[in-house]
Amino acid sequence: MEIIERKIKGAFEIQLKPNFDDRGFFMRTFDVNIFNKNNINKNWVQENQSRSEAKGIIRGLHFQLPPYSETKLVRCIKGTIFDAFVDLRRDSPTFGKWDSIELSEENKKMVFIPSGFAHGFCTLTDVSELVYKVDNFYSPDYETGLLWNDPEIGIEWPVKDPVLSGKDKNNLSLKEFIGKYKYLERQ
C-alpha cells in the first residue's frame, strides 16, 4: 500500500498492491498500522456501496454539515469513475479548489477525502460500483451539496450532459454555499 498526498493538503491517493497468481489476486485494502503511520486513520462507522448502471451519471457534489461532516475512503470495485472533491474547509489556502482522480477496478486505487470537502463522481463505464467508508453517520437533515457544473469551481468533468438526480440538479452554487454557511469547520 502506497499513500500519496494529493495537490489539496489532507487528501490522499492510496495505491493498493494486489498479489496475483493463476487463481486471481489478494490485496489488503485497509491496515490500521499503515493508516495510523500516515495520520489518516479514522473511526470508520459506516461502509456504503453505490452502483450506477449507465455511463455518464454524476452523483454529487455531496457533503454533510457539522456535526455530521464525513471523512470518506472511496474505492471503485467495478468499472471506472472520475472522482472529484472540493475543499470547503475554514481557513484553507485551497478553499473552493478541486482535485480529481480516476478510480477503477483495474487501477485499484482509493482516495481518502477528509471532512470539510464536497465529493462527487462521474461514471465512465456502463456499470460502476463504489465502496466507501465514512467516519460519521448519515444524517439527511444535515446533507447538502454543491452544483456539479458551477463555473466558479470549474471542475473539468468528462461529460457535458450527465444523468443527474433531481436533488443534484438543485444543489448550491459555491457563492450560495458561502452566503449560507461560509465554510465547513475542520473536524
Listed by start position, the domains of the chain span: 44-102+114-181
Residues 16-43 pLDDT 10s: 999 999 999 999 999 999 999 999 999 9
Out of 68, 132, 138, 142, which one is annotated catalytic?
132
* Residue 187: pLDDT over 70: no
Instruction: Determine whether 140 is exposed, middle or buried from the number of CB atoms within 10 Å of its CB (0-12, 13-18, 19+).
Output: exposed
C-alpha cell at 13: 491517493
As a CATH number, domain 44-102+114-181 is 2.60.120.10
Q: Is 132 one of the annotated active-site residues of the chain?
A: yes
What is the average per-residue pLDDT within 8-22?
96
What is the average per-residue pLDDT within 64-91?
97
What is the average per-residue pLDDT within 178-182?
96
Residue whose C-alpha is closest to residue 158's, from 73, 101, 88, 76:
101
